[in-house]
């Protein structure tokens, strides 16, 4: 009886380990594939930014492109962090919608600053499930900047999940920014949603 | 993204009289801040909020935010306009050479800190950089040492303490100096003595050099980060929290870089170990 339990237990746990390992492996993108993905995504981004289209047209094109190459929902959930369990399903839905909008505005805010941008893809490294693709970004009148792109497999295809500049992670910084708003308002996720709406309104008024 | 941290380090490492004044008033202002107010911790039963409070490690947040607002005003009305004017009249090349010159002057300070933190490889790199850049690099205006395989690795006394195992401690936002922490604030008095001009005998010419170098250092570094700082202030929901997060991440990555670069290698002439 005891032997049977042991065998069954061992079988069940090994099956679990295999399935977890399988899930983890499925999310990791091989270095060459990640490099190819970032090269292609970067070329598309540079083509949009340096095109002769109007700023509004470029903003639209960038929004579409970002939705294709960035795992926006996953990044949004990471940024919400521990407050994802506090938020109601409606708040969570509203948050993701606002997160998409703010990301678009933050990208379009930088279009002019990145006119004339070029980039080169360097090596790759592994950090947990993420494959980090190192690039050097050059802008006219600015010193070259080393930027790392964290790539993960999301929904069966490689997607960008983080940007790393000088040892700082964009999603960690955003998470701390958002957490501060919630914590300063007694842990209310509604305060974060109000702040995000306020920010969007400010950008619209200034734009 | 290490904009504010760099800018803070620059203000910290100013020269001559200005530094003396700032170093003298900083403890007083800090004490005033400590007495002014502390953040109220949420009860541990409020799990998500309590975890956030612990992670922020910023018990003096209300006071820190007051100083942040003051520094922000000083920056908006003094540093930034001057830096913008400086960008208008200089080229990237000139600004890079000024940056190289400033970096070179601080190299002996790094050498001492690396020695104290037991990083012989990094200390050697600092020494080679200072010798090569001060001579071949014409007083540090050029940086041939990087091309020779000796890139800059930044450090200060706060990072030396980190190497000794001292934790970062609560976050501090200092008047004028900017982001810091209970551990990193100790850099202020130490950095004070670690520039070559401090070791030289007092003279009028040296004072003038000290003031000019500090001013140039502030303006050149602020100019370098006009874009990133503007971007954070325009896009962050809470710029104070964003700078706090960036400060901590940059400090952690500086420790990682110091350790990564201090890898002992076996020279060619060294005999192979006996088997």
CB nearest to A113's CB, from B53, B227, B256: B227
Residue B275 pLDDT more than 60?
A: no
Predicted local confidence at residue A24, as pLDDT: 41
pTM of the complete model? 0.82
Task: Please state, as a whole number, how many other Cβ atoms lie within 10 Å of the Cβ of residue A43.
Answer: 12
Residues from chain B that touch A138, judged by Cβ atoms under 8 A, are: none
Q: What integer is the mean pLDDT of A16-33?
A: 60
Strand ranges, E, within B176-220: 178-181
Label residue A11 by pLDDT band (50, 70, 90).
Answer: very low
User: CA of A198, closest CA in chain B: separation in Å?
Assistant: 9
Q: What integer is the mean pLDDT of A191-207?
A: 89
CB contact under 8 A, A180 and B256: no
CA gap A202, A172 in Å, rounded: 24
User: CA of A141, closest CA in chain B: separation in Å?
Assistant: 6
CA gap A138, A146 in Å, rounded: 9
Q: What integer is the mean pLDDT of A127-143?
A: 89
Q: Which helix (H) or strand (E) holds B109?
A: helix B107-116
Task: Please state, as a whole number, how many other Cβ atoms lie within 10 Å of the Cβ of residue B118.
Answer: 12
Dihedral angle at the C-alpha atoms of A192, A194, A200, A201, nearest 10 degrees?
-160
CB contact under 8 A, B224 and A167: no
CA-closest candidate to residue A131, choices A155, A158, A167: A158
Label residue B37 by pLDDT band (50, 70, 90).
Answer: low
Q: What region does A28 belong to: left with phi over 0, alpha with psi -120 to 50, or beta?
A: beta
- Chain B residues with CB under 8 Å of a chain A CB are 1-2, 42, 46, 48-49, 51-53, 55-56, 92, 96, 224, 227, 231, 234-238, 240-242, 244-246, 249-250, 252-254, 256-257
Token duo for residue A124 = 């790759």
Give residue-wise pLDDT tens across range B133-169. 999 999 999 999 999 999 999 999 999 999 999 999 9
Size of interface A-B (CB pairs under 8 A): 96
Label residue B6 by pLDDT band (50, 70, 90).
Answer: low
| C-beta of residue A150 within 8 angstroms of C-beta of residue A134 | no
- Cα B117 to chain centroid, rounded: 17
Q: What integer is the mean pLDDT of A35-48?
A: 93
Prediction ipTM score: 0.81
**Average pLDDT, whole number, for chain B?**
84
Predicted local confidence at residue B3, as pLDDT: 46
Residues from chain A that touch B246, judged by Cβ atoms under 8 A, are: 168, 173
CA gap B247, B3 in Å, rounded: 9
The better pLDDT of the pair B77, B10 is held by B77
């Amino acid at each position: 009886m005891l032997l049977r339990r042991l065998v069954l237990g061992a079988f069940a746990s090994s099956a679990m380990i295999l399935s977890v390992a399988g899930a983890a492996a499925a999310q990791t993108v091989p270095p060459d594939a990640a490099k190819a993905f970032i090269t292609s995504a970067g070329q598309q981004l540079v083509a949009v930014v340096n095109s002769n289209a109007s700023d509004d047209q470029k903003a639209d094109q960038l929004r579409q492109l970002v939705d294709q190459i960035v795992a926006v929902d996953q990044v949004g959930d990471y940024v919400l962090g521990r407050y994802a369990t506090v938020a109601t399903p409606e708040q969570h839905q509203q948050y993701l919608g606002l997160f998409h909008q703010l990301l678009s505005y933050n990208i379009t805010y930088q279009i002019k600053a990145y006119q004339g941008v070029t980039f080169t893809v360097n090596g790759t490294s592994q950090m947990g499930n993420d494959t980090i693709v190192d690039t050097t970004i050059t802008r006219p009148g600015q010193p070259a900047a080393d930027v790392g792109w964290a790539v993960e497999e999301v929904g069966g295809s490689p997607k960008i999940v983080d940007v790393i500049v000088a040892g700082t992670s964009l999603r960690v910084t955003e998470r701390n920014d958002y957490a501060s708003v919630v914590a300063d308002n007694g842990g209310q996720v509604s305060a974060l949603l109000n702040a995000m709406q306020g920010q969007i309104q400010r950008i619209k008024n200034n734009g | 993204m290490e904009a504010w941290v760099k800018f803070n380090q620059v203000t910290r490492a100013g020269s001559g009289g200005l530094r003396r004044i700032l170093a003298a008033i900083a403890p007083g202002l800090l004490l005033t801040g400590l007495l002014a107010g502390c953040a109220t911790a949420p009860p541990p039963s409020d799990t998500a909020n309590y975890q956030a409070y612990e992670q922020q490690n910023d018990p003096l947040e209300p006071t820190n935010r007051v100083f942040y607002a003051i520094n922000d005003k000083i920056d908006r009305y003094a540093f930034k306009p001057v830096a913008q004017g400086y960008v208008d009249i200089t080229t990237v090349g000139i600004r890079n050479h000024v940056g190289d010159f400033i970096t070179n002057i601080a190299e002996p300070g790094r050498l001492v800190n690396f020695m104290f933190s037991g990083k012989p490889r990094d200390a050697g790199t600092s020494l080679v950089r200072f010798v090569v850049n001060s001579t071949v690099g014409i007083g540090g205006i050029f940086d041939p040492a990087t091309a020779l395989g000796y890139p800059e690795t930044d450090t200060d006394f706060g990072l030396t303490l980190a190497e000794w195992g001292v934790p970062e401690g609560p976050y501090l936002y200092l008047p004028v100096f900017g982001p810091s922490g209970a551990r990193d604030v100790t850099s202020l008095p130490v950095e004070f003595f670690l520039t070559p001009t401090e070791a030289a005998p007092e003279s009028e010419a040296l004072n003038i050099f000290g003031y000019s170098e500090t001013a140039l250092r502030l303006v050149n570094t602020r100019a370098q980060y006009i874009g990133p700082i503007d971007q954070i202030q325009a896009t962050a929901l809470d710029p104070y929290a964003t700078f706090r997060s960036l400060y901590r991440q940059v400090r952690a990555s500086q420790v990682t870089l110091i350790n990564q670069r201090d890898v002992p290698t076996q020279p060619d002439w060294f005999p192979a170990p006996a088997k």
